[in-house]
Amino acid sequence: MKSIVIAILLTSLLIGASYAAGDPKAVTEIRQNTISSLVNGLNSENLGLKSGCTYMLGELQITTAVIPLMKILRENENEDLRIAAALALYKIGTPMAINAVKQSIRFDNSERVSKHCASFYHEYIKNKLVDEEKDDNVVKTARK
């Protein structure tokens, strides 16, 4: 358990340091070991570790974490952790991840979680519409 915490902390520090240095290309590859450690952290009994791993998986957009994050969103008792899972799923942005957030709007028992999921989902839709509008403008410009 200690090794997982240490691995996650080191990973966070390395990623943070490279972004702080202003060189986002410095983090070109996320190792499978790092991903495994973060996903394993989701199974921890330690709420801080679990929420930290949830956050990092979203920030790094680890698509293999969608199903474990969906499980947290559906089944965990802690509202804050469910909201963190919804945010991570939103950031990952795959169709399955976004659908899980959308379904939580209707089916989560917590009004607070539902409202956050609605906010994430509406932001996703807004960004999607803006991207489509940009694509339309590119096509119109190309036709001229």
Q: What is the mean pLDDT of each run of 10 residues along the chain (144 residues)?
A: 56 53 57 94 96 97 97 98 98 98 97 98 94 71 63
pLDDT at residue 142, as a whole number: 61
Identify the pLDDT of residue 132. Answer: 82
Structure-token pair, residue 111: 């009004």
- At which residue do the structure tokens 């906010």 appear? 119
State the pLDDT at residue 99. 98
Q: Are 81 and 110 in contact (CB under 8 A)?
A: no
Q: Output the pLDDT for position 22.
A: 52
Dist CA 79 CA 68 (whole Å): 16
DSSP readout, the chain?
Answer: -HHHHHHHHHHHHHHHHHHHTT-GGG-----HHHHHHHHHHTT-S-HHHHHHHHHHHHHTT-GGGHHHHHHHHHH-S-HHHHHHHHHHHHHH--HHHHHHHHHHHHH-S-HHHHHHHHHHHHHHHHHHHHHHHHHHHHHHHHH-
The confidence score (pLDDT) of residue 10 equals: 52
pLDDT score of 133: 80
Q: Which domains does the chain have, with CATH numbers?
A: 2-143 (1.25.10.10)
User: Is residue 68 a contact partner of residue 98, using CB atoms and an 8 Å limit?
Assistant: no
Asked whether the beta carbons of 103 and 114 are under 8 A apart, the reply is no
